[in-house]
Amino acid sequence: MRFWKAAALLTGTLTLAEAGGTAYFYRRTMIRNNADMKRTMKMAGTDWNQYMDIIQDRKEKLVANPHQDLYLTSDDGLKLHGTWFPNQDAKKIVICFHGYTSQGMNDFVGLSDY
């Protein structure tokens, strides 16, 4: 009988720990409150200011190409924005997704030379 009580206690404790961890990470990654790009950049531990000249140069070159802004409203009412850079000669397509505190034209412009 003592074994079953200990097993039940251990199972209950592990279940609570798992539920708590899941709730924490869900709130940390999925809930859009306190979304702040500066906070996210600080957490990443990278000083992006050192790359801003390169990013700005590549961004200017990229947006000089033909492109189209696309908008879509998500099921939860968010206005989503994408930028399409067509290339008729290409046999492949690249789709880039960023986090909700990021900006695609800043995050992915470094890949634009490719």
How many distinct structural domains can be found in the chain? 2
SS3 call for 105: helix
User: H/E element holding 72?
Assistant: strand 68-73
Question: Are residues 43 and 13 part of one domain?
Answer: no
Question: Are residues 18 and 56 part of one domain?
Answer: no
Domain hosting residue 101, numbered range? 39-111
Question: Are residues 98 and 61 part of one domain?
Answer: yes
Question: Are residues 48 and 104 part of one domain?
Answer: yes
pLDDT in tens, 2-51: 999 999 999 999 999 999 999 998 887 777 666 666 666 676 677 777 88
Through-space distance between the first and last CA atoms of the chain, rounded to whole angstroms? 66
Are the beta carbons of 60 and 113 closer than 8 angstroms? Answer: no
SS3 call for 111: helix
Question: Are residues 67 and 51 part of one domain?
Answer: yes
Residue 64 has pLDDT above 70, yes or no: yes
The total number of residues shown for the chain amounts to: 114
Q: Which DSSP category does 29 fall into?
A: H
